[in-house]
Amino acid sequence: MGVARVFVADAAEDDFFRLEKSAPKSDAWRIICLLDGEARPPAKLKSRVFAVLPRDVPCQVLEKTVEKAFESLRAQEEQHHTRQELRRPYRISRRSTKLAWRFPPSAIPIRCWS
């Protein structure tokens, strides 16, 4: 999926413009927006916004928000990995079913233990 990244973007510093121009290609990134008043992040970046906070947010709150953003990205990566794993047995079972049909039942060795 790529390296997880969390950007803290300040609307007053034109960070949104810079992010629009040089946004990572992977899905593993989120934005925490620091805004004043009624300002909103650009529509192009809206799907990447994890949180919108006032510019004067306490440092502890910002720190905790960054931690939660990384946790969210890790959970997304785990979910992606789990989906791939769940699809995998289906492919294997289809392949093994086809292999089993190629041989008559008498040709498949069966072991019995007592």
pLDDT, tens digit (0-9, with 9 covering 90-100), for 23-57: 777 778 899 999 887 777 778 888 888 999 998 99
Q: How confident is the model at residue 110 (pLDDT cuts 50, 70, 90)?
A: low
State how many domains the chain has.
1
CA–CA separation, 109 and 98 (whole Å): 17
Q: Is residue 27 part of a domain?
A: yes
* Domain assignment of residue 107, yes or no: no
Which of 49, 53, 60, 39 lies closest to 19 in space, CA to CA?
49
Question: Residue 105: in which H helix or E strand, if any?
Answer: none
**105 lies in a domain?**
no
> Is residue 78 a part of any domain in this protein?
yes
Whether residue 113 is contained in a domain is answered as no
User: Structural domain of residue 14, as residue ranges?
Assistant: 5-100
Query: Model's pTM, two decimal places?
Result: 0.67
Is residue 40 assigned to a domain? yes
Name the average pLDDT for the chain.
Answer: 78
